[in-house]
Structures are given as C-alpha cells and as structure tokens.
Amino acid sequence: MLQPHLQRIELNKQSDVCVPSNSGYAHVQRSSQQLLNQLQQQGVCGITAELGRVEAHDLARRLEKHLGGRMQTIFSDSKAFIDTTAIPQSAASTKLHWLDNPRGRKYTGQYYDNAQRTLKLNPALERTAIDRYNSLGYAVNLIYIEGDKGRVERLRSKVFFPLLNTALVFQTSHDMLRFEKEQRGNTNLLLALTGWPDSVDPDGARTAGGGHSQTAKFCARPMGDVHLDPRLRQLAKIQNEERMCQQIIQKHDTDQTQRHTMMALESLTKDLEELNKSMEELERNKKILEGTIQEKTSELNCVMSARLEGQPLQKKRKTGP
C-alpha cells in the first residue's frame, strides 16, 4: 500500500486535509475537497494534482490545461474503497481510480536508472526532439514525484503514464510544427508551451489554447529540498533570464529613443537657424534688387519721354585734358 502523500491524507483527521496554500489541493473545487474530507478508509494515494510537482510555471499550466478534469481524479490502492465509495452529485466530475486495476493501462517497458525512475519510451526520438526541436522531452518524465523508488515508479507508470502517454513537450508551437512536418510517421501527442496551435494530436488535428484548468493545479514550486529534472531547472532559469533581458531591452530602447529624439531636435534647430540666415540674406538681396529695378525703371522712363518729345538726349560731357 502506498503511504499517504506527505502524510496529508490521514483521512480520519479533518486537519490533515487542510494543506498549505501552495499545494495542489488549494485549487481543487470545493465539492472535491468535501469528498476528500468525507473519506474514512485507508489506501487513498491522493489526487493527480497532489501526486506530482512541476517546477516551471509555463509547463505546469500547460499540463493542467491538457489534463483538465483529470487533475482531480482520486487514486487508491484499495479495490474495496473504489467499490464502496459513492461519488456525491456535488462532486460528479471527480473520478475514482484503482491503481492495480488489471484492465487499466500502465507502463510495462524499461526505466532509466535514476531516483525518479523516468520511462525509456523512445530515447532516440526524444534525443532528436531535444537537440533539434527545442523539446523538453516526454511530459510523463517532466513531473517530479516524491518518495522511494518503488513509490515513484508505481505512480509514474500507473498514474501519469496513462494520463500523458507519450506526449512530447516543446517550448514553442513553431518548434512543435517543425517536428510534426519533418518527423513523418510520428504518433505522439505534441504539446507546446507557447504559440498557436499549442497542441497537435497524433492524427494531425491542431488545438488552440482555451484557458487553464480551474479544477486543480500542480505545485509550480517544490516544497523543501527537492532536486528536479535539470532540464526543468534550466527552463525556469531561461524564462527568468528572458524576462530580465526583455526589461533591459525595453529600458535600452527607451533610452535610445530619447537620445535619438534629442539628436534629431538639435539637428532640426541647427537647420532652422541656417534657414533663418538664408532668409535674411534673401531679404537683403531682394531689397537691393528692388532698388536697382526702380533706378533702371526711372532711367528708362526718361529715355522714353525724350524720344516722344523729339528732343535729343543730353550726353554727359566728358572731362579730359
């Protein structure tokens, strides 16, 4: 029998289900919480949201949206518990699942030799997706599970593998669509953290985002000294650095814009001064030209008058020796 997760599901004590605010239970619908409070039998492992942790916020939200109502499925070791527990109408969306159900789907392949007992689904394809298409790998391996290896292996193979199967996670929809186009014959569900579409089904159908699950949330922050998959730590670090870079770029762009504006203003001021000088010079030349035209006009009028009266023009007498 699995031990109650972090000793939070001692079902005969009301206080033990009042968990911290950063727990997945804090986001479960009130009706589901009431159902959990009413359960009086041992052998309950917990709900999907509480059995795993996802450090990267974007990844946690994406998996929550994909799982939807399955985030609040209650898992139990006990068949008797499943058979004798009735779901009240107020929590009709909550499902009960027996972990050892022989008809249930579970993983039967090999595991990597690590504390988290990650699944060896298709190492070659996963390596290609990570190296060439900015993938984070298989979604089922990106969830941290607390406990010993036996508990971790059981939950990963019997809880999260049936829920996530061989879904691959990509950082953007662009990377996801490149993978879909270039890796012909792919039969995996593809999930993207950002962009539209944010998922591609094995049959090629594309799905756009429509908000996150409102039923339950993964813990987006680990409790205690938890060592997560290094790829998740790297993703969280990259996202944080990206936000810092965007802030720096935005400030830099603002400073650059201000400098360019001041330089353009100074240039326009100088051009305006030069234009004013040119206008003054033109005004002076205009006055000189008007004086010259007036003088020439007077002389021409005198010549025309003399000719009309028949009088010869008096030439200026030359002075000389």
pLDDT of residue 225: 35
Model confidence band, residue 173 (pLDDT cutoffs 50, 70, 90): very high
Q: What is the pLDDT of residues 212-241, one digit of tens each?
A: 444 466 754 433 333 445 555 566 667 667
Q: How far apart are CA 125 and CA 202, in angstroms?
A: 15
Q: How far apart are CA 204 and CA 183, in angstroms?
A: 12
Q: What is the pLDDT of residues 200-211, one digit of tens each?
A: 888 778 887 655
| Structure tokens belonging to residue 280 | 């003054």
Determine the average pLDDT of the residues in 279-299.
Answer: 87
pLDDT of 196 higher than 70: yes
- Domain locations in the chain? 5-228, 230-275
Judge whether 226 and 37 are in contact, CB under 8 Å: no
* Element of type H or E holding 98: strand 96-98
Query: Helix or strand or coil: residue 126?
Result: helix
Determine the average pLDDT of the residues in 84-92.
Answer: 71
Place of tokens 């609040």: 72
Q: How far apart are CA 261 and CA 268, in angstroms?
A: 10
- 235, exposed or middle or buried, with CB in 10 Å at 0-12, 13-18, 19+? buried
Q: How far apart are CA 255 and CA 131, in angstroms?
A: 38
pLDDT of 277 higher than 50: yes
Q: What is the pLDDT of residues 66-79, one digit of tens each?
A: 998 888 888 888 88
pLDDT of residue 290: 86
pLDDT of residue 128: 93
pLDDT of 111 higher than 90: yes
Q: Which CATH class is domain 5-228?
A: alpha beta
Determine the average pLDDT of the residues in 185-189.
Answer: 84
Q: What is the pLDDT of residues 15-39, one digit of tens each?
A: 223 233 334 434 444 555 555 555 5
pLDDT of residue 170: 94
Determine the average pLDDT of the residues in 158-167.
Answer: 94
Q: How far apart are CA 195 and CA 180, in angstroms?
A: 15
- When mean pLDDT is compared over 92-106, 159-173, 260-274, the highest value belongs to 159-173
